[in-house]
Amino acid sequence: MEDYGLSGKVALVAGGGSRDEGIGNGRAAAVLMARSGAKVAVMDQHLDAAQKTVEMIEGEGNTAAAFTCDATDERDCKALIDSVMQTYGRLDCLDNNIGIGSRNSVVDEPLDTYRKVMQVNVETMFLLSKFAIPAMISSGDGGSIVNISSISALRPRGLTTYTTSKGAVIALTQAMAIDHGPDSIRVNCVAPGPVYTPMVYTRGMSEEARAARGQASILGVEGTGWDIGQAVRFLLSDQARYITGQVIVVDGGVTLRSPERDSAG
């Protein structure tokens, strides 16, 4: 077991399922947290996807339970946190990993789509944190939250609604860090680059497009969900005890190059 100071802690991974056997950012974070001794509450809109992650964790001899929730619904979010507390008796970590995309401009984006992206990408983090933070405080040892943004927020390349939502995630992260630092709760953000996850490849991607994404990195390789999961685990762990309000970019150096609309995620 890798010692991250997570043994005995309880971590909620929102968006912890994935398609089929694939490894998305949330599933990777959940598995890695469990490998470090945390008890993991895996939440996904689709219970079967969450259960698959739990099976992976339990298959390695670690502890997890599956939960489902409509994270756009305030009552559902409260009920989820209540269920996690009833199951494990405490909550120490939250990985806010729920999100959807959009590629349109202001002119082309339907208002309903804009509102949906903002709701799913920002409001879900607001709602889950709203109920998770009091639970962390009541657990007695503070806590840690990681919100997932995107390099699109730092280096816009169009994708206006998506970019706006991911910029809001960074602002939310920093404001929460200020508000809840006195409660011994750290809040940080991970901004992934072009990582190869089920959300990407199930939309259809040619080998040429995949190779181009890899070459967008100055390292010449593509990222995976495991790379994002590693960053999340670090920020949630005691190893990051003096880090809060920060944005950790995990992109292989993509943001060091000029933006190209279709080269990065």
Residues belonging to the active site: 162
Task: Report helix angle 111-118 to 160-180, nearest 10.
Answer: 30
Sign (positive/negative) of CA torsion 87, 147, 174, 166? negative
The separation between CA 146 and the C-alpha centre of its own chain, rounded to angstroms, equals 7
Which residues does 57 contact at the CB level (< 8 Å), separation at least 6? 30, 31, 34, 40, 42, 63, 64
**Distances 68 to 43, 48, 78, 155, 180 between C-alpha atoms, Å:** 5, 9, 12, 33, 27
Sign (positive/negative) of CA torsion 150, 156, 157, 159? positive
Which of 175, 178, 90 has its CA nearest to residue 138? Answer: 90
**How do strand 39-44 and strand 64-68 relate by DSSP bridges?**
parallel
- Cβ atoms of 253 and 219 closer than 8 Å: yes
C-alpha–C-alpha distance, residues 244 and 249, integer Å: 14
